[in-house]
Structure 1
């Protein structure tokens, strides 16, 4: 791609913080940005072996790993302190890339949580809070900034098997749209990218999920494909302004308009998780049948047959 040739906002010598930079799409972004001369901060729970090897290879002069649980706001704030300690300034570019995809620990259908959904904390609250931290930090230094949030094509279409994931990604599109004015008013450019199906650990480390959602390798991008588009968005400031939502898939890239979004022109463009997933949720149906049966049995044992008949009519 030659991203250095496309730049009207060079990443060279810019401080770039990336949550989720220890693996997947964001690790690919870290590698490219670092090669362009950026000063990198990786905020993640841990580094993959690939990330460790990369950092060992390039040295620690322009890259630092800061352990960070993005659901904890004090740890997000600590990324600013890390930047100031390492690079003597706050970040110029902020990439909110950490995310989860319907894990068993925070899943709408399994519903294992008693107080809050961790998926919402990670996929929605974290990018919002990081953006607010970024705004406060760059305003305090009286300098411009860029925030790039990873949403998803699943934030443009629903999926019965992944409603919480889709909802969190929908939310990020609305959030970015709402902050379009921040570039003109405050000098903070807030954007989102919506990748299609991408081969990352969210899939590769969960074969059961690949099966449930109809994962189709032939329609899958590489993390580098997405990272290159992200670099382009960061560097082509005149082309990608505040409020931009960019969809990218194996079959093409388009800026999503604010109103009246046309359906994909290519039969595969716009597909997030595999189409087969719409028929692949026997486990969801089985779960809900059990819940229905358990509910009816409980009502029967407590209140008798009359109440059972009433409950059926409500269903």
Structure 2
């Protein structure tokens, strides 16, 4: 690819674009001249609906990202409605140890035979990447796939081990896809924020945790800007790049031998996060304690 990849007059599809980081990038992409931006999400927030109502070139397609037919329909309907497949795919849909799918409280029954969190955080972005490559090859054009990772994808997190596992998968997958830029003309990169001030951190039981970690959080708009830079600057962010973005700055994580982020998590926040885990496991041993 050249030294720049402009989103101007491009079609961009954003899974999880109905809220949070995804919606922030939808807005930014249109501001940067994208021809059409598709919000692919299972539902819309009030803010997302307002954005769509105000701009006819931002469109909504209902998409359950764990259903591969829905991911393919995102591409097929784009070609039918706009005459081409998306040039850029942003896989921002994801969940952080939700109450219905997490490791420690383990709410999913044995007959589920799977963790929903794995489906949405791993299977969705990986399958979307494969479908995107096929679609772009079929249209004889280059493109970009951005996967929303996390610093949890190369760190440890006792409070959220399943989430960490899913983000480790994204880090490894993105690195492994580096040569797709050379062989298929599709640049696959991962953007890895730390703590972001989205509802996953600012609502419900996470309020206290966010209060303790708010000084190291960044806004979803900050992450959206990093996504934009990842898309438009191929010389700086080549295929396979894993791009960390934190309050202290942005860097590319090298393939080997990198230092941990220069961020210290408050001890109180860790203790608050561990308490419900210990409560759950204490109950499993009959409340006898360690």
Superposition TM-score tier, normalisation by shorter sequence: over 0.9
Name the residue aligned to 1:149: 147
CA contact (8 A) 1:160 1:278 kept: no
Name the residue aligned to 1:14: 10
Matches within 5 A, 1:24-173: 24-38=20-34, 39-58=36-55, 60=56, 62-114=57-109, 115=112, 116-173=114-171
Shift of 1:267: 4.0
Q: Pick from 273, 276, 288: which aligns with 2:268?
A: 276
More deviation, 44-53/127-136? 44-53
| Unaligned stretches of 5+ residues in structure 1 | 1-6, 297-314
Separation in 1, partners of 2:100, 2:134 = 33
Q: Does 1:198 align with 2:191?
A: no
Name the residue aligned to 2:239: 242
Separation in 2, partners of 1:212, 1:249 = 18
Q: Calculate the TM-score normalised by the size of structure 1.
A: 0.85
Q: Calculate the TM-score normalised by the size of structure 2.
A: 0.92
Question: In terms of Rg, which structure is larger?
Answer: 1
CA RMSD of aligned residues (A): 1.8
Separation in 2, partners of 1:275, 1:181 = 41
- Secondary structure of 1:139's counterpart equals helix
Separation in 2, partners of 1:171, 1:214 = 29
- Secondary structure of 1:293's counterpart equals coil
| Unaligned stretches of 5+ residues in structure 2 | none
Task: Name the count of aligned residue pairs.
Answer: 282
Q: Which deviations, in whole Å up to 9, do the C-alpha atoms of 1:225-280 show, x marking residues without a partner?
A: 1101110110112211100000001111110000001233x344xx6xx6533322
- Secondary structure of 1:28's counterpart equals helix
- Secondary structure of 2:286's counterpart equals helix
CA contact (8 A) 2:63 2:70 kept: yes
Separation in 1, partners of 2:247, 2:20 = 16
Separation in 1, partners of 2:87, 2:267 = 39
Q: Pick from 274, 283, 289: which aligns with 1:290?
A: 283
CA contact (8 A) 1:28 1:224 kept: yes
Name the residue aligned to 1:233: 230
Shift of 1:212: 5.2
